[in-house]
């Protein structure tokens, strides 16, 4: 089954404790993205990647890091989380073929206290 | 700056009534355009998309959208709403020519009353 998986689905952590949210896709897609969703703000793109070792900032990259060492994986790293990073995070992927449709993961709800 | 506007935060319609959700974007060229739906506690599902060609596009669940270049709009419509359509709807725009730089609107929450 074609899918984007994220782990963990739920995470409660404390300020300053480094964490990683993993994202993996099994569709051999070139493009991957991370979004955060906050009430009243919709989804905002954090980082995106066009292929292995190629990443670029989205609209809200501050406080986040990403890496793309393998095509299927695109982890999101919070080196020193802060309460304003409490949010719902979505990973998405899409291939070069087709017309831009993104496939979204189920989301990770992060709470930073 | 490039932007996407969904002017209606919340819309309430009666079951069986028609629906139109508005989306406007600010961008010089024609972007790739999308509508997504998100049910409570769920992820996002693509309803429809526009890249080129016929400006009236059909999607899933009986939805359609019309691209109007002169108005920089991509409004979503449905002729008869069902209670199961209650959800939040997001317009999204790729202004990077498909290179994945995507901007979402802030969403419109749809309530359906019997």
- The pair of structure tokens assigned to B93 is 């725009």
A33, A40, A56 ranked by CB distance to B102: nearest: A33
Average pLDDT in the A55-68 region? 95
- The DSSP symbol for A62 reads T
Q: Is B102 on the interface with A (CB under 8 A)?
A: yes
pLDDT value at A77 more than 90: yes
Mutation for A interface: B8, B37, B42, B43, most A CBs within 10 A: B43
Please tell me the predicted confidence (pLDDT) of residue B1.
67
Residue A103 has pLDDT above 70, yes or no: yes
CA dist A40 and B18 (Å) reads 25
Note whether A107 contacts B43, CB cutoff 8 Å: yes
Cβ-based contacts under 8 A for chains A and B = 55
A108 CB neighbours in chain B (<8 A) are: none
Higher local confidence (pLDDT), A101 or B97 = A101
Residue A98's pLDDT is what?
55
Query: Where does residue A26 fall: left (phi above 0), alpha (psi -120 to 50 degrees), or beta otherwise?
Result: alpha
User: CA angle, corner B106, sides to B103 and B110, nearest 5?
Assistant: 130
Kindly determine whether residue B51 and residue A100, on different chains, have CB atoms separated by under 8 Å: yes
Q: B54: exposed, middle or buried (C-beta count within 10 Å: 0-12, 13-18, 19+)?
A: exposed
Judged by a CB distance cut-off of 8 A, whether residue B103 touches chain A is yes
Please give the angle made by the CA atoms of B66, B40 and B96, to the nearest 5 degrees.
45
As to burial, measured by CB atoms within 10 angstroms (0-12 exposed, 13-18 middle, 19+ buried), residue A25 is: buried
Confidence band, pLDDT 50/70/90 cuts, at residue A25: very high
pLDDT number for residue B51: 86
Q: Closest chain B residue to A93 measured between Cα atoms?
A: B100
Q: How far apart are the CA of B17 and the nearest CA of chain A, in angstroms?
A: 26
- For residue A87, the model assigns a pLDDT of 98
Instruction: Give the distance from residue B102's alpha carbon to the nearest chain A alpha carbon, in angstroms.
Output: 7
Query: Which of A78, A80, A102, A106 has the alpha carbon at shortest distance from A15?
Result: A80
Which residue has better confidence, A1 or B91? B91
Per-residue pLDDT of chain B (114 residues; tens, 9 = 90+): 678 999 999 999 999 999 999 999 987 677 889 999 999 888 899 999 998 889 999 999 999 999 999 999 999 999 999 999 999 999 999 877 666 778 899 999 999 999
């Amino acid at each position: 089954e074609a899918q984007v998986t994220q782990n963990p689905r739920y995470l409660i952590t404390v300020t300053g404790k480094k964490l990683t949210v993993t994202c993996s896709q099994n569709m051999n897609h070139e493009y991957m993205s991370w979004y955060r969703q906050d009430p009243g703000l919709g989804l905002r793109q954090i980082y995106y990647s066009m292929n292995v070792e190629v990443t670029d900032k989205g609209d809200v990259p501050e406080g986040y890091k990403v890496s793309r060492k393998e095509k299927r994986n695109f982890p999101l790293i919070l080196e020193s989380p802060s309460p304003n990073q409490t949010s719902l995070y979505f990973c998405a992927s899409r291939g070069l073929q087709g017309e831009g449709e993104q496939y979204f993961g189920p989301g990770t709800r992060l709470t930073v206290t | 700056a490039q932007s996407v506007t969904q002017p209606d935060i919340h819309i309430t319609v009666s079951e069986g009534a028609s629906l139109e959700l508005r989306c406007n974007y600010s961008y010089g060229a024609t972007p790739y355009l999308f509508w997504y739906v998100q049910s409570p506690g769920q992820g996002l599902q693509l309803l429809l998309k526009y890249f080129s060609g016929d400006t009236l596009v059909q999607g899933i669940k009986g939805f359609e959208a019309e691209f109007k270049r002169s108005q920089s709009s991509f409004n979503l419509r449905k002729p008869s709403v069902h209670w199961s359509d209650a959800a939040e709807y997001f317009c999204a725009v790729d202004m990077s020519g498909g290179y994945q730089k995507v901007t979402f609107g802030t969403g419109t929450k749809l309530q359906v009353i019997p």
